[in-house]
Amino acid sequence: MFDRAPAYLVTLPNFLVYFVASLALTALFLLIYTRVTPYREFALIRAGNNAAAISLCGAGLGFILPLASTIANSVNWFDMVVWGAVAMLVQLGTYMLARLIKPQLNQDIAAGRTAAAVSLAGMSIGVGILNAACLTW
């Protein structure tokens, strides 16, 4: 199909595979993350809870940063998926660590306390940046 395509379209199938796989991994991460947390982020966000929005965005970005690094450095889409799964585990572990450091975290976010959410988002993004750097080879 692409054997007679213009040169700039030759890599389009790879782009599509990586893009769809990364969207699927991101959706899977958000699904798992929102099941791990005891509060319901999407319901809280719909109700106007800024803390839930901040913490979920931070976790999402903390996952997407290393995922982007794996996309840029993987040898094929399967390699990207495997290292994307590692990035997912690291980000879920970051949330667990944050809960140990701040035992009231869940209650604070559910109550809309943005200071707790900003600290969780910052930790998630910070670990995501380190994770992304470690996923370059």
Q: What is the largest CA-CA distance in the chain?
A: 60
- What is the rounded distance in angstroms from the CA atom of residue 136 to the CA atom of residue 134? 6
- Cα-Cα-Cα-Cα torsion 82, 93, 71, 126, nearest 10 degrees, comes to -160
- What is the rounded distance in angstroms from the CA atom of residue 84 to the CA atom of residue 68? 9
Q: Alpha carbon of 71 to those of 14, 36, 98, 129: distances in Å?
A: 11, 26, 27, 15
Whether residue 5 has pLDDT greater than 70? no
Whether residue 2 has pLDDT greater than 60? no
Whether residue 3 has pLDDT greater than 80? no
pLDDT, tens digit, for every residue of 43-94? 999 999 999 999 999 999 999 999 999 999 999 999 999 999 999 999 999 9
pTM of the model: 0.90
So what's the pLDDT on residue 111? 97
